[in-house]
Structures are given as structure tokens and as C-alpha cells.
Chains A and B, each alone.
Chain A
Amino acid sequence: MKRRLSVFVLALTMVMPSLALAESADEILAKTDKAINNYNDMSMTSIMHIKESSGAEKTREMKIWLKGEQRLVKFTKPATDAGISLLSTDSSTNYVYLPAYKKVRRVASHVRNQTFMGTDFSQEDMAILRYGDDFTPTLKSEDENTYTLEVTRKPDAKISYSKLQLIVNKKSYVVERIDYFDNGGDKVKTEVRSDFKEIPGNEGVYPVPTTITMTDAKTGHETVLKQEDLTINKGLDDEFFSQRNLKRPVR
């Protein structure tokens, strides 16, 4: 009896460490959220390349500053857009500066899934800061390098997607790919994040994707975002994200 008990205990101790090491979906998602937000503020130059399903292409260049929910975007190219600036202070309030009118306009958008300037990104996509706030995760599968998490919209979440499927890097917990699904459960778009650049974050390094490709599943329309001149934690104060600053030239 005692021997059988010892064998049992031995077997248990062999199994339990691996049980203790396996991460839950909640834990993975929490780490993912932490990895995404491993900075206080960030600035970059973005080149947005839009490819229509007809083959026609368009390119825009802008400078972006981020701090929490706040976002300041100043367009620099093409010439027709140069000087236009956008300021988001929260998920539903935007200010736009139109240089031809020399006026700042407040645009209160109550439409979360409205596309952003003809791209495949919506206001909502760009406003998601923490998946854990609005989604409940389930670990679908994993391989040597990645976790596949299915995150389902929480009942009270004001998100237009019913679920997302995230491919999360096991080492860095950054999201490498997101599949977005509508209320009918159909995949509507895919976002692929690649060409990661590691820069020092709040804790350790912060891998930032320098290429983000969003593809519409139905139309084949594609938007590619290239991010350059990435810097984080420059110490941007809240005053930087002001209407006044919308009109001032690019720093």
C-alpha cells in the first residue's frame, strides 16, 4: 500500500510541474495586453499603402503620436492631404484640422466600425488597447512558437466583432496575426503583423511590428502600414495632444 502510494505521489509530482507550467488563456491574454502596452508614449512615421481589388493603389504618409487612448496624426503626403491632422482623445471623439479652412472640427463618431479613410482599418481596430477589456479568451491550439487564442466578445462590450482569432508569439506575447469575425461568424478581415523591431519598453524590450497588413476577406482590398522612425517614451505630455497642436507644424 505504502509503495503504491509512493508511486502515485511520484507520478503526481512528475505530472504536476507541467500542469503548473501550462498557461491559461486568461494568462496569455493578460501578457499579450501587457506586451501591447509596454510603453507610455510612442511616435512613428507611417506609410499607408492602399491596394484596391481592381489593382489601383494609393499611398499616404503621416506622423503618429500615441499615448494611452490619445492619438495625434499629421498627414505629410500626398500634397493634397499635407497639413490635415487628426486628434483622438478617446474612442469616440475626434478632432480634424482642415488647413484649407484653418479650422478644427470636432467629429463625434458613434460608429465604431466606420472605416478610416478608405483603408481596411476601422476606428475600432485602431482603438483597441486591451483585448481583455472586451473579450473572453479561449486557447484553441498552440505550436512550438505560437498560441492560437480565440477571444469572444463579452456580453456588454461595445465591439462590432463577435470574435477574434489571435496568433500570439510564445516568447514575446506580441500578436502576429488577427482574424476578425462578424456577428454571423464569418471572417471579415485579417491583420498580419510582421517585421518586428525590438525597442526598449517599460519592461524589457518592446517588439513593434513595422509592417501591418490588413486584408478584407470579401473584396481582397488590402491596406499595408509601414512604420518607421519608431521611438517610445519620449515623455509626451497630455498638452501635446491638444487641438492647438493640430495646427502646428510637424515636429
Chain B
Amino acid sequence: MERLAETVVRRRIAVFVAVAILSAIAGVFAAKLPTDMNVAAILPAENPDVVFFRVTGERFGTNFVNMSALEADDLFTNENLTTLRAMTNAAADVRGVKFAMSVTNLLDMQPDGEGSISVREIVPADGIPTEAAELDHIRHLVLDNDMLAGNLASPDGKAALITIMLEPGQDPKIMGAALKDAIRKAADGRAGTVYFGGVEMIVDFLGKTIGGTGMVITMSLTFGVFIVLLGLFIGRVLGLVASLATAGLATLWSLGALGAMGVTLNLFTSMLPLLVIVVAVPMATLIARAAARAKGTGSERTVIAVKQFGGAALGAGFVTALASLASLAMDLPIFQHIGIGLAIGSASAGILAVTLAPALLSFGGEKEPAHSIADRLLGGITAAGVEGKRAVLLPVALIVLVVFGFLATRISRDVNPMSTFPAGSEPVETENLMQRGFGGSQLFQINVHSADVRHPAVLEQMDLAKRRLLNIKNVNYPQSIADVLIMLNTNLNNEPSTPDEIDKINNMWFMLEGQAQVDMLIDRAFTDAVVQARIGDIDSSVVGPAMEKINEVVDAVPHKLVSVSLRDRPSNELDKWSEALAERAVEKLGLDVRRGLDKDIDSKDLTAGLAALRSEKPTIDSVLRSEIQDRYAAYLKSDEADIVLPDDFDVTPTAEALAFLDDPSEPAVIDVLKEKLPADVLAEDPAGPTYAAPILVGIYNKSIKRWRHGEALKLAREKINGLAEAMAKDPSLNASVSSSLWTINSETANVTPQKYEEITGEAPQADNVIELQARVTGWPQVNDMLHRALPKMMKAGGFLALILLAVGLFIGTRTLIGTVAALLCVTVTAVVNLGLMTILGVPLDNITWVILLIAVGLASSSALAVVGSRRRGLPLPAATVGAMMLPVAVGFAFLMLAELGMQALLGVFIAVSALAALTASLAIVPGLVGEDEPE
């Protein structure tokens, strides 16, 4: 080190030139370092779950969705609906927005008589009503619609959401700001509270917070206090300059290296500069303070300083770099990038501390030793004093290690991402609104993949998945394309289920084509669809258990199904198929009852009863026959009738004759028509009866289905205690039970290949087997996956760090006892941080690793400084170590004032690490190393 110091001093110009060249190169790469402040950028891009999340998000637009909300005492007033419409239109008009959707621009399809529907805007486009009755009507249209209540309007009618879909490729910061600006202007001066949510909105909030006055003041205060204290503790201006230059250039080189590697800085890794500065400053301060305390010319003092502490400074850089590289063992790019960046930064700092810093310090003139605040505070601490107390200090250190180590094992695993944001801030208030009005903000999807997800078999599985999700605590408002089809089928055909044949679905699709809401549930190639829902809380203690149950729902989706048209099956199989339909109906009903009545049903009796309803020929009593006759008559008299009858023709005899055909066939119907209708009508249109026959047969079949459904409902109410009352009170349960029981009317049975073989005695043909896959995705799934992987990653990284630390410290101290002492210092510092996290209720999170790296960096510097001085028989450098740590502790403590939780936490634990490192190195090392001091 002495030779190095002399060389540096002698060739300081060359050192400056070399540093300048390296800094220029680093600067070029650092300037090009891309940043992506999208919160999604912290996710590991290559992780299969993350890849699937992105792909699904792009496919269904959830990657591009933001939201705004309006909350008021009552949404359904002229004033508030006007505000909501203005906000929606303002959002839609922002460049880069694909569409904005709220209840003010949604269409509603309502039954309008038998088999007719009326399509109109829920809120009239040509003016918001002012009459109470009209507003009340809108309220019912929205809140009685399961697809809207809880999704676009809160069930209590106080809040509404605006879903804003962006065009792909928009700049999050620009879009967030533009949307907020437009929506706020539209809502300005009107009643109600406006909220914003979504990635782009949060990026805008973070950008404004980080660049805002509060943060500027906090950072100014932090660095201002830090620099002033550093100057006072070093005692020389040139020393301060050398320290800051070392830290600054180490940071630049670190960023330049990351830029050259093609790394993109994100919200997490953007704290790297702060980390490098915190660990780099003490290394240079060690040299600067030592130089300030020496006597002589600048060159002489520099040589002395480097001789005394150059090894420690370089060693600290090397050891911190090694420990940081343990991050590479962690399977998360954000940790790996932080590790690499800190490794390069700390190694650079170590090198610069023994090259650039001495080169700068050598310019100082002839000086007497400078005494600083550090000497006044800590100068009284001597090696002898510490050695004398080692019988107390060492056991205390061990006790601290054990106690805080124990506390560290109790560290909370429950993470609430909202803790990043200050109370009362926009993201927190929006999250609160989402939880109280919309079942939470944590949207997840079960993606279902098949050759055609509109196949009745697949739709039935989506419907089942939804029912299962409704039975999971904290999972709210599930919906899928199956719900849209059920609603349409109910309104158009009075059949409360998904269509049971693919031809019917193709026809239904005709009505849905081009609807924006549909694109969010099914892709245009029809190979993928989602069942989406929300988790009611963002805290990992809620998300974790919910995700476990959601995964069970996914596992329950069969991979193969056979869809069997019951029209073609042999009669000897029909009983078994009826039983299969009944089992499916009871399966669905069981889920409804568990949700509505919180109990399981005894399925055996009910299944047998429903199967009998399906398989046995219905007994057509006079009431049913009369209903059928009326429907025949209504058809024959209608404009839709395929036979043009004179206005004065009495259709009653014809309808009656038809009604007395039990299980009519088309030929039988044609015969009746030819017998009963006027000859001139038949002569005019001979094809008429041929066209009318299938319609009339259809009317009969539909009537039987309605009768069967009615009987099934009666049976269910009879067999399940409390069901009738629950259905009367809960329209949603009523609709769900009705839909479940309609299953026995299905013309198609969807069963597993095993069940098919059980019924038919043969394996299904490959062409008839439908393959499907289900997989869950969404922010909660990805976060939960990473959250569960974190402890294992931290253990792997920690274990490797410990080994690398031991190796590095051994190389740095060159003695076993020195290694043990330094390792003990570092371990105590790290464990104190973890224990304090437990005491303060700070959970184990990504930031924990960063805190540990800081602790390692600071403790390594202070421990090596003390070990180095003991090896050379020098006085205990308490004041020097104090100068290294105290400005960091006090200065960065001001970060606790930061609005963002992550930065405030960093402030706390940087201060704690610095103080713990100072105390541990002064209390532990002299007690251990003093006994084994080498020559």
C-alpha cells in the first residue's frame, strides 16, 4: 500500500487522466441507460408466469386498462350522471385512448315481450333524465344487472367506474398525466370525489411525487445534512471533495457498466445510485479522515493515510462487491441487477479510494493534524478501554445476535403494497374505494384455452369455474363470456343457461359481434377466454390463501371433454345420459347452495329426481296442454307465422288439434295443418305447412322444457331446506339456481372421456374429444408467486453472501481471528436490521435484500478499518470510524421524511445499519483481534 500511495502521489496527473477517461466512457453508457418506470417492469421478464401474464394482458387488453371513478352520495342523480358522462367522454377524447366505458355509454338489452328484445343506452345519449322515476329506472337497470353491479357501479349505488382502454405502446407517464388532466377538468366544479387507478395513473403519481416539492426538500435536506456533517467529521474541505468525488464516480461507473450490459433501470433498481453512494462514501472517508489527522505536506499525509487504511478501503470495496454478487444466486433480475450494480460500484469505490482520493488529497499543503467533531465525540474510546470491557461487550454482542436473530425469524410475511404510498394519497384512496365498492382492485383471470372456447362444453366449464370462485372468501364478482351468453339466451329465448349446441352459439354470436366488452372476455380467434374476478384485498395475507383456492378451481377444470348430442344416442343409453345431466345440474346447484346457504346438499335423492324428470315422458295435464295450445294459437295468428291466414280465421280448432298430439313429429303436424287449414290458403302457399311444422314442434319442445324446469325448481325447493326463502331474498341466487336446473333440458351432455366410456361402453373418437387448458394469471397471481419465492431466494442469496463474505474478509484481514471478528460485526449489523424490521412490523419484501446489502457494505468498511488498525498496532480509529458512519446515519435518517414508504424505510435502515456497524466494529473487534495481533 505504501508503494501504491507513493506511485499515485507521484503520478497523480496520470491518475486523473485515467479516471477521466474511464468516467467519460461510463458517462456515455450511463447517459443511454434506459429507464422504465412502469410498475410491471420490475417483474422478471423471462419467468413463464410473467410471460403468460403479459401475453394474456395484451390479448384481452388488461395490460392497457386504467380506471377512473366517481363517488357521491347517490350516483343516480342527473347531476352525478352528467358528471360521469363528462368524465367518460373526456377520457375517450384523449389521444391514445381506444375507448372509455362507463354506465353512461353502455348498451342494455332487455326483453320486450315474448322473444323480443329492446336495445337502448342505459343512460339515454340525448340527455340525462331529470325525473325521479326515470333515474330510478336507470338505477335498477344497473344495480339489478350482475354484470354491472360490482363491476361498473358499486352495489350501493354510490360509485361508478370508468374503464379506460389504451392503445398499445403508449408512454405511461404521458398517458397518466393526460387522462388525469382531462378527467379532472371534466369533473371540475361538480359534486363527487374523483379517483384514478391503473398502471399509467400510478406511474404519473410516482413521477409527480418523486419530482415533487416534498421529495426535493427531503432529498435536499438529506444530502445537505449528510454533506455538511461529512465535512465537519472529516475536518478538511479537500477530504470532503475526495470522498464525494469517489462516491460520485463510483456511482457513474456502476450506472455506465449497467448501461453497457443493456440493463434497463426500473422503479426498484433506480435506487442503485443511493446504495452506491451510501457504501462508497465511508471507503473514501476512511482515507480522507486519516489524511486529515496526519501531519505534513499533502503528499506525505496521503501516503500515511493510504498506508494505514488503504488495505481496509480496498478490502471493503472488494468484500462488499463479493457479497453483492451473491444476488446472482437469486432468480429475480431486479436483485441480480442491484447486486451487479452494487458490486461494480463498491469495487470502483474501493479502487478510487486508493487512487483518485489520494491523488486529490495530495494537493493539500503543509498541515497540522485536524481535529474534528468525530474526535470530540469518539476520541475517548480506546482499544485498551474496549479490551478491558470485552468480558461484557462480547457476551452482549452475542446476546444481541441471538435475540435479534430470533426476532428475525419472526419477520412478518404479510406485505401490503399500499404501504409504499402515503396515507390519504391517491393510490391508497383509490384502493380503499375499490375494496368498499368493487370487491377489490386485484383483478385476476383464469385463462381457458381450447380450439373454440365458445363450444358449449367449454362454456359450461367457465360457468362452473365462476360458481366455484363465488364460493371462495374474498373473491368477488367473477364473470366470463358465459355470463354474457346466459344473459342473451335468457332475454332472447327464455333459456337461462349457455346455449347447449354450437349452432345456437354461432347464432348468438351474431348479436354480440363488435361489442367492446366482449373483446375483454374472449379473443377474436376464439381460442382463449377468461373468467375474471377480483380479490378483495391487496395484502398478501389475503391474496395468498385466495390464490391457493383459486388454483384449486383451475385444477378442477378437466383437460378433456366429450360433447354428446343426445338427439343421436340410442334409446338404451338415454337414462344414463339423463343421469349425467342431472349430476351436472346438481353439481352446479351444490355450488349455489354452498354460496347462498353455506351448506352442502344431499345430492343422491335430488339427482335421481332430476334424472327421472329428464328421462321419463312428461304427463301432460290439462293445464300444460292448455298452455301449449295457447302458444300454438299465438304463433298461427302472428306476423311470424309461416302460413298467411285470413284475419277472420279462427285458429282455435287447429291449435287444439295440434295440442292433442303428444310428442308431435313434423309429419304429424303437417297432417293436422293440411286437415284444418282452409284449402285456398294451402293452395296459395303449399310450402307453408312444411315451414310451420318445425316451428310448432319447437313450441311443443320448449313448453315441455319449461314444464320440466318448473318441476325441477319445485323439487329443489322441497329437498333443500331454506332454498325457497333464500331465492326469494336474493335475485342473484335465484337466477343462478334457475340456470343450474335448466341443465337437465340440455340437448348436449358434456362429460369426461371416462364417463363417456362408462355410459357407452366404448372410448370416444378422437375427433369428438375437446381439449382445454386452464391457467390463472393476473397481478395477484404473479405477485403471490414472487412473494412465495422470496424467502427461498433470500436464503440462497444470504447463504452464498455469507460464504463470499467469509472468503473476502479472510483475504482482506489475512487472519482467522480478524475474519471471525469482521464477520461477526457484519452479521450483527445485518441481524439487528432484520430484528428491527420485526419489531417495527416491516415485512419481508424485496427491499429487505437491499437493506442487507447496505448493512454488509457499511459493516465491512468499519470492521476492516478497525481490524486493519489493530493489525498495525495503531490506536483504535474510533473517531475515523465515527466519521465514516455518523454522517451517513444522521444525514440519511432524513429520508424517513420521504412520502414514499420504500424511501422512508431506506432512511430508517441506512441509519440503523450505520449506527450498528459503528457500534459493532468498536465493541467487538478490539475484544477479539487484540489477542491475536500478528507481527
Contacts and interface: CB of A to CB of B under 8 A. Distances in A.
Interface of A: 52, 56, 80-81, 84, 96, 98-111, 114-119, 158, 160, 184, 186, 218-219, 242-244, 247-248
A108 B504 contact: no
Interface in B74-122: 93, 98, 107, 112-113, 115-121
A206 to B, nearest CB: 31
Highest count of chain B CB atoms <10 Å: which of A84, A105, A109 = A105
Interface string B908-920: 0000000000000
Nearest to B491: A105
Interface of B: 93, 98, 107, 112-113, 115-121, 125-126, 492-493, 499, 501, 503-504, 506-511, 513-514, 524-525, 639-642, 644, 691, 694-695, 698
B631 to A, nearest CB: 12
Contacts of B642: 244, 247
Contacts of A104: 115, 640
A122 to B, nearest CB: 10
A244 B116 contact: no
Nearest to B514: A118
Nearest to B115: A105
Contacts of A98: 504, 507-508, 510
Contacts of B513: 117-118
Given A98-B510, A99-B507, A110-B120, A219 B98 contact: yes
Highest count of chain A CB atoms <10 Å: which of B98, B120, B525 = B120
Given A160-B125, A242-B639, A248-B691, A108 B506 contact: no
Contacts of A115: 514
A243 B639 contact: yes
B107 A114 contact: yes
A111 B644 contact: no
Contacts of B492: 101, 105
Highest count of chain A CB atoms <10 Å: which of B640, B642, B694 = B640
What are the 10 closest A-B residue pairs judged by CB atoms, nearest first? A118-B514, A100-B503, A98-B507, A110-B120, A106-B116, A118-B513, A80-B506, A100-B504, A109-B119, A108-B118
Contacts of A114: 107, 119
A81 B510 contact: yes
Contacts of B493: 101, 103
A76 B492 CA distance: 23
A80 to B, nearest CB: 4
Nearest to B698: A102
Contacts of A52: 524
A128 to B, nearest CB: 17
Given A101-B493, A219-B98, A244-B640, A96 B510 contact: yes
Highest count of chain A CB atoms <10 Å: which of B112, B121, B514, B695 = B514
B669 to A, nearest CB: 13
Nearest to A58: B524
A111 B116 contact: no
B697 to A, nearest CB: 9
A215 to B, nearest CB: 15
Contact of A107 (B117, B514, B524, B695): B117
Contacts of A96: 510-511
A56 B523 CA distance: 12
Contact of B119 (A107, A116, A218): A107
Given A84-B510, A103-B640, A160-B125, 13 more contacts: A56-B525, A101-B493, A102-B694, A103-B698, A105-B115, A106-B113, A107-B118, A107-B511, A108-B117, A110-B120, A117-B514, A244-B691, A248-B691
Contacts of B126: 158
Contacts of A219: 98
Contacts of A107: 116-119, 511
Contacts of A119: 514
Contact of B116 (A80, A105, A116, A118): A105
A104 B635 CA distance: 11
Given A110-B121, A111-B121, A242-B639, A100 B506 contact: yes
Contact of A243 (B107, B501, B640): B640
Given A100-B504, A248-B691, A110 B514 contact: no
A178 to B, nearest CB: 20
Contacts of A117: 510, 513-514
Contact of A81 (B118, B506, B644): B506
A101 B504 contact: yes
A116 B641 CA distance: 27
A119 B507 CA distance: 17
Contacts of A160: 125
A109 B113 CA distance: 14
Contacts of B121: 110-111
Nearest to B505: A100
A107 B120 CA distance: 10
A100 B489 CA distance: 12
29 contacts: A56-B524, A80-B506, A96-B510, A96-B511, A98-B507, A98-B510, A100-B499, A100-B504, A105-B492, A106-B116, A106-B117, A107-B119, A108-B116, A108-B118, A110-B118, A111-B107, A111-B120, A117-B510, A117-B513, A117-B514, A119-B514, A184-B93, A186-B93, A218-B98, A244-B639, A244-B640, A244-B641, A244-B644, A247-B691
Contacts of B641: 244
Given A100-B506, A242-B639, A108 B112 contact: yes
A100 B115 CA distance: 14
B393 to A, nearest CB: 70
A52 B510 CA distance: 17
A100 B119 contact: no
Highest count of chain B CB atoms <10 Å: which of A52, A103, A186, A248 = A103
A178 B641 CA distance: 41
A110 B125 CA distance: 10
B256 to A, nearest CB: 40
A249 to B, nearest CB: 10
Nearest to B107: A111
A100 B492 CA distance: 13
Contacts of B116: 105-108
A119 B510 CA distance: 12
A248 B508 CA distance: 20
A110 B507 CA distance: 22
A39 B115 CA distance: 35
Given A81-B510, A84-B507, A247-B642, A106 B115 contact: yes
A219 B93 CA distance: 13
A111 B119 contact: yes
A90 B113 CA distance: 19
Contacts of A80: 506, 509
Contacts of B640: 103-104, 243-244
Highest count of chain A CB atoms <10 Å: which of B119, B126, B524, B641 = B119
A107 B640 CA distance: 14
A118 B518 CA distance: 11
Contacts of A111: 107, 119-121, 125
A130 B163 CA distance: 37
Contacts of A118: 513-514
Contacts of A243: 639-640
Contacts of B525: 56
A244 B636 CA distance: 12
A209 to B, nearest CB: 23
Nearest to B492: A105
A73 to B, nearest CB: 11
A49 B504 CA distance: 24
Highest count of chain A CB atoms <10 Å: which of B113, B511, B513, B698 = B513
A248 B639 CA distance: 14
